[in-house]
Structure 1
Amino acid sequence: MPQESNYDDFAKDYADENEFSMLNAYYERPATLELAGDVAGRKILDIGCGAGPLAEQLTSRGATVSGFDTSQEMVELARQRLGGGSDIKVATLGEQLPYEDDSFDDAIASLVFHYLPDWSYALEEVRRVLKPGGRLIMSVNHPILYPFNHRGQDYFQLTRYTDEVTFNGKPAELTYWHRPLHDTMTALISAGFAIARVWEPPYAKDAPEGVIPEALRERDAFLSFLFFSLRAN
């Protein structure tokens, strides 16, 4: 993960929670895999791979997956999960990536760009390592949630904020950057990506009893993350 939120401090607790939580296991990850579609035979870069749950599922679907994360602890967990021969590196989104030009068919950035105040160089680097016409699939915090959860704050300002959370029952802090939707769209288009799809997906209806709160089970979807499918021009 990029800077500011230090996942080394709570890597194992985050990984344990991520495995079965509503937001990760039954909302974000299924939506990302649906956007990815048939990945058999494709070379995919998992950006901010964490402990490797997405890379594992992509590999099981026939993709060849490389991944990186800022957190050394997360990378170690991913290597344990994926096997010693897995191509998982310590690297940081927003810095030069350790891959050659035109290396990947797809790049997937699950819940990672919202840690960055400036997307310009990060998107430039992702585009560089993608083959022409390659896809970037990404999810970020839905921008409407910042003013909803932080009453009185200005939706239209790029703003750094910190949320107190719990992972596996233990407290932690995550620091994000809120950006209004028009800034997000401008950054993506300016970096040379064509927007194929913007999606506010439903959650997975096969979630076990007790994972989805009863109030949400009456609805098909809820707002938490915003998803993009993009193509490199």
Structure 2
Amino acid sequence: MTSDGRTDAETAYDRLAETYRTRETDPYCADLEFPATTELIPSVGGKRVLDAGCGHGRYAEWLLDGGADVVAVDASEEMVARARERVGDRAEVRRADLSRSLDFAADSFDGIVSGLALHYLEDWRTVFGEFARVLRPAGFLVVSVHHPLDDYLAFEPENYFETAEERMQWSADGEAVEVPFYRRPFAETLNPLLENGFALEEVVEPRPRPTFEEKKPESYEKRLRQPTFLCVRASLR
């Protein structure tokens, strides 16, 4: 937590916001995570959908193009500003901290999409509890996160079973930016969801598309054999 009350992750993403949209063309997003996640999202025409952790608004834009009524939230003020620029008045975009109670009434949404956002939160029971509260009965939830196995292999922790903070190093205009996130065991990715009344519908460990190989051939074979992301669709029971 910084002196102005923001988390380290918020500060990092404020710094990354200016150039973050360029990451959408990175093969890990464009040819691996994004297509796998969007394939899990049911038809959204006429539905009210929350984009939870919207970043630059990539999923918000995709949902809008599919006919959804979208509300997009992010903890980073700079990311919120970029998402507003992207979608204009087509969606409501506001700042919200997913680690706290959401400022929405119960049964406000038909669906929730959260793309590569939840691994920045330590406590998933609170956030899934809030998702359950604001979803209407039988509402859908689609989430993509780091795969626990990939985090474990990358950081080689002494204890696989603990949920603990790790740090990635990214770059913003040539400056190194440390981005904190939480790795967790596989059980802790699914049990908080089940404990809050969700029923699993599909779990995907996506493999890279052929276009990934064209852009990043040095990583393609590894990512065919080792999972990178975990994508889940669930519904509220």
TM-score (norm. length: structure 2): 0.89
Aligned-pair CA distance for 1:170: 4.6
Evaluate the alpha carbon distance shift between residue 147 and residue 43 of structure 1 in structure 2; reply closer, same or farther with a 3 A threshold. Answer: same
The C-alpha deviation readout for 1:66-114, integer Å capped at 9, x for no partner, is: 1100011111111111013520000010211122211111101111111
Q: Number of matched residues?
A: 230
1:10 aligned counterpart, secondary structure: helix
Q: What is residue 19 of structure 2 aligned with on the other side?
A: 13
Aligned-pair CA distance for 1:140: 1.1
Structure 2 unaligned regions, length at least 5: 1-5
| CA distance in structure 1 between the partners assigned to 2:221 and 2:97 by the alignment | 37
Aligned-pair CA distance for 1:205: 3.2
Whether the aligned pair in 2 keeps the contact of 1:201 and 1:221 (CA below 8 Å) is no
Evaluate the alpha carbon distance shift between residue 151 and residue 39 of structure 1 in structure 2; reply closer, same or farther with a 3 A threshold. Answer: same
TM-score (norm. length: structure 1): 0.90
The residue identity in structure 1 corresponding to 2:31 is Y
Which of 118, 125, 135 matches 1:120?
125
Fraction of identical pairs, as percent? 34
Task: Say if 2:35 is the partner of 1:34.
Answer: no
Aligned-pair CA distance for 1:208: 8.5
The C-alpha deviation readout for 1:54-74, integer Å capped at 9, x for no partner, is: 111111121221110001111
Q: What is residue 227 of structure 2 aligned with on the other side?
A: 223
| CA distance in structure 2 between the partners assigned to 1:94 and 1:206 by the alignment | 36
Q: CA RMSD in A?
A: 2.1
Q: Which moved more, 1:91-100 or 1:147-156?
A: 147-156
The C-alpha deviation readout for 1:113-146, integer Å capped at 9, x for no partner, is: 1111111221111111111010111011100122
Q: What is residue 97 of structure 1 aligned with on the other side?
A: 102
| CA distance in structure 1 between the partners assigned to 2:122 and 2:36 by the alignment | 25
2:19 aligned counterpart, secondary structure: helix
Evaluate the alpha carbon distance shift between residue 188 and residue 219 of structure 1 in structure 2; reply closer, same or farther with a 3 A threshold. Answer: closer
Q: What is residue 232 of structure 1 aligned with on the other side?
A: 236
Q: What is residue 22 of structure 1 aligned with on the other side?
A: 27
| CA distance in structure 1 between the partners assigned to 2:125 and 2:7 by the alignment | 16
Q: What is residue 109 of structure 1 aligned with on the other side?
A: 114
1:46-57 to 2 correspondence within 5 Å? 46-57=51-62
Aligned-pair CA distance for 1:37: 3.4
Q: Which has the higher helix share?
A: 2
The residue identity in structure 2 corresponding to 1:4 is D
